[in-house]
Structure 1
Amino acid sequence: MKRSWMISLIVSLLIVGGGTAGVFYILDTVPEQLAVSAVLNQPPEEDEKNAEVPKETQDIIYESQKLVVQIELPDGTIGSGFLYNDKGDVITNAHVVANAEEVSVITTDSKKMPGDVIGVSRDTDVAVVRVPGLEGRDPLPIRTEGYAELLDEVLALGSPLGLQNTVTRGEISGVDRTLDIEPFHYENMYQISAPISPGNSGGPLLDRNTGEVIGINSAKLDEETIGFSIPIADVLPMVERWSETPMESLPEFPELNEQVQSPVTGTDAEQATYMVQYFYDSINQGDFVTAYSLISSSWQEKTSFEEFRSGYYNTLSVSVDNLVADPKDDQVVVTAFITAEETVDGEVKVKKYKVVYPIQKENQSVKIMQGSGEEISNESKEEE
């Protein structure tokens, strides 16, 4: 039998960019007074599980990241969402898009697209954003029936502090949790040990073994590595109704406009280093189409896709040893120190390189403008 646990404590909804810090009290109390806040205004947590990630899990993460987006509002609010159907519909939290009709959606390859809020609930912290630019893409697999169980291994994806597609690992540490964060009521929640932070709100919780979406990351305990995720099966019928028949008028959330807070986002340097890391992740996965899409149009004009891909024919794997970012005016110069396994005359050799990448915005997207590198061992100069 499921055991319902009411978190009876001070609860508050803290939203980056615009929100409320209202306090809600419940009579029954747990042993210690704790505070729960929407996952948009807490410092990032580090995943303490440093064990090597299995290859199968790496594949799930890589493929899933392409379908997880960052959502931005004009007031600076930042959250996450994920593609759940082929109409371009993105599921997120209601508190992420509250009081907004239009938002900006940023994909993993830094493309910025407009999105329209087509459904949002006043009671359940769930909303749907339709993004025409994502129409036709295959969505994330969704677990439509059944629930996760205690100690199931999970992955939490999102954009904490604007650091897009951050992934943390953990377990289902509790089930059937109930809490209130005005104006929302949460019940049957998963309690998770995977660290979640500002910007994770609305991101997917995945089954680590299958890659299926099992929940929507929504809240965390203040100062604790305990998060809460809404089971996707509980809200899917409501979400699908909005996709079939978008709401003609959206509910308002005046209680979420009482205070304005400073946006919390990743710095330009952090976003630039993420871009280079994602570039090499794509190369390692053999996804040269994605890697090529991350480079600037001027680089693409000088190098065709076939030429770009042929440059990696002899590369077996690449690991990033260190990334150093140096902001300069309108761009960030990222120096990557990498180790590559390459085939040379039929033999596998390990080589180390230092590669420099200027990163800057191009047509609303962050791009790698060019690349130049040298082999550290013999200092031979190479142009990418």
Structure 2
Amino acid sequence: MKRSWIISILSSLIILGAGIAGVFYIMTAVPEDISVSAVLNQPAAEETGNQEVPKETQDIIFESQKLVVQIELDDGSVGSGFLYNDQGDVITNAHVVANTESVNVITSDGKNMPGDVIGLSRDTDVAVVRVPGLKGKEPLPVRKEDTAELLDEILALGSPLGLQNTVTRGEISGLDRTLDIEPFHYENLYQISAPISPGNSGGPLLDRETGEVIGINSAKLDEETIGFSIPISDVLPMVERWSESPMRSLPEFPELTEEVYSPVTGTDAEQASYMVQYFYDSINQGDFVTAYSLLSSSWQEDLSFENFRSGYNNTLSVQVDNLVADPQEDQVEVTAFLTAEETVDGEVKMKKYKVVYPVKKENQSVKIMSGSGEELSTDKEEE
């Protein structure tokens, strides 16, 4: 790893003051001893694999992320949604916006916009939020017919732990799954291997080859890397009716109590540590689009994506040995100790680094602002 890129490798720390809504567990139609929950209450999952993202996939991710939003409620709970028409209408899960009429929507570039819930189902975990500020924008392409097959490659987009522009990859590992998570009944679900985590609820599931929305990420198996997505074709007629004729009154969910929807109480330091690890997972999988999106705007002005990507040409992998987060008055300073596997003059070598960098809020999103690092000596080098 080039010394000048050590700082870039660590450009991922994001901490959020907003809480993440927690949801309930319930026995499912899959084996009775396995519980399922809406994804908002789960600890963040790590994506496996070490394959570089193809260029066409990077293009799909880059364009799609612009139309995926983070949805925040007054109680601090967070979910995801995506623009599906040119009227500014955003599809999300009903459990994300239950018991509220208005929400705050944050776009991928950090803009805050008000949104009104115009459709909400008591039975199907789907809702629509109208965001006037998004009217006129070209929406994500939506697949209107259910043509998904086993092992189709997919992308799951959303805001796990409030981290926008997060993408995980996987496959459709099962079809026609049925679940019950009170008060919702889920049927004909896609079972997916792409890891989904707190805040992913309501985000789009994309076909990796076409970039079309094929589902709405909604639930996951308890402590398993198995998620479930509602086929968009099953609910499209309903959401289109809401867009044409918004509901005059919204159903209430008294069973979804404050105890059920409680914000996650993890500290800034704990969330920061997760985000740093997530960044390295992205780098190790070749997902440089996601990694680059975590840099501050000032950093991106000084560093193009092409240069950012080429800076890792000699890096094979990066292992996080230890993370130390130090919350300060207006930022969090994180020290990361790394072991990098690099190619130097045709030989593979292991090098250790220490990097320190500040993180603070920029346009309503917390970003890496700058950093400084040094290479540490190893026993072999000392000998």
Same fold, judged at TM 0.5 (above): yes
Tell whether 2:287 aligns with 1:294: no
Task: Give the gaps of 5 or more residues in structure 1.
Answer: 1-14, 340-352, 377-384
Count of aligned positions: 334
Counterpart pick for 2:310 among 305, 311, 317: 317
Q: Percent identity?
A: 72
Distance 2:96 2:122 in 1: 12
Does the 8 Å contact 1:19/1:258 carry over to 2?
no
Secondary structure at the counterpart of residue 190 of structure 2: strand
Tell whether 2:256 aligns with 1:256: yes
Partner of 2:229: 229
Q: Which has the larger radius of gyration?
A: 1
Partner of 1:178: 178
- Closer, same or farther in 2 for the Cα pair 1:177/1:363, shift >3 Å? closer
Partner of 2:153: 153
Partner of 1:215: 215
Distance 2:22 2:274 in 1: 28
Residue by residue over 1:185-241, the C-alpha shift from the partner in whole angstroms, topping out at 9 and shown as x without a partner, is 111111111121221111111111111110001111112222111001111111112
Partner of 1:83: 83
Residue by residue over 1:49-83, the C-alpha shift from the partner in whole angstroms, topping out at 9 and shown as x without a partner, is 22222122122222222221221112222211111
Partner of 2:108: 108
- Closer, same or farther in 2 for the Cα pair 1:154/1:244, shift >3 Å? same
State how 1:114-129 maps to structure 2 within 5 Å: 114-129=114-129
Secondary structure at the counterpart of residue 41 of structure 2: coil
Partner of 1:59: 59
Distance 2:103 2:71 in 1: 7
1:101 positional shift: 0.9
- Closer, same or farther in 2 for the Cα pair 1:294/1:228, shift >3 Å? same
Relative to the length of structure 2, the TM-score reads 0.72
Relative to the length of structure 1, the TM-score reads 0.72
Secondary structure at the counterpart of residue 47 of structure 2: coil
Structure with greater contact order relative to length (CA < 8 Å, sep ≥ 6): 2
**Residue type of the alignment partner of 2:62:** Y
Does the 8 Å contact 1:162/1:264 carry over to 2?
no
Further displaced range: 117-126 or 69-78: 69-78
Does the 8 Å contact 1:39/1:200 carry over to 2?
yes
Does the 8 Å contact 2:146/2:231 carry over to 1?
no
Secondary structure at the counterpart of residue 238 of structure 2: helix
Task: Give the gaps of 5 or more residues in structure 2.
Answer: 1-18, 341-352, 376-383
Residue by residue over 1:263-284, the C-alpha shift from the partner in whole angstroms, topping out at 9 and shown as x without a partner, is 1388656569969x7xxx9xx8
- Closer, same or farther in 2 for the Cα pair 1:65/1:273, shift >3 Å? farther
Does the 8 Å contact 1:161/1:264 carry over to 2?
no
**Residue type of the alignment partner of 1:47:** E
Distance 1:95 1:257 in 2: 11
Partner of 1:379: none
Further displaced range: 108-117 or 73-82: 108-117
1:114 positional shift: 2.0
Partner of 1:11: none
Distance 1:292 1:165 in 2: 11
Distance 2:99 2:186 in 1: 20
Does the 8 Å contact 1:140/1:213 carry over to 2?
yes
- Closer, same or farther in 2 for the Cα pair 1:70/1:268, shift >3 Å? farther
1:329 positional shift: 1.2
Secondary structure at the counterpart of residue 40 of structure 1: helix
State how 1:1-384 maps to structure 2 within 5 Å: 17=21, 33-257=33-257, 259-260=259-260, 262-264=262-264, 268=268, 294-295=297-298, 317-319=310-312, 326-333=326-333, 358-361=358-361, 364-366=364-366, 371=370
Residue by residue over 1:340-365, the C-alpha shift from the partner in whole angstroms, topping out at 9 and shown as x without a partner, is xxxxxxxxxxxxx9998644235644
Root-mean-square deviation over aligned CA pairs: 4.1
**Residue type of the alignment partner of 1:246:** P
Distance 1:118 1:312 in 2: 38
Distance 1:242 1:159 in 2: 25
Does the 8 Å contact 2:169/2:194 carry over to 1?
yes
Distance 2:37 2:47 in 1: 20
Distance 1:126 1:182 in 2: 14
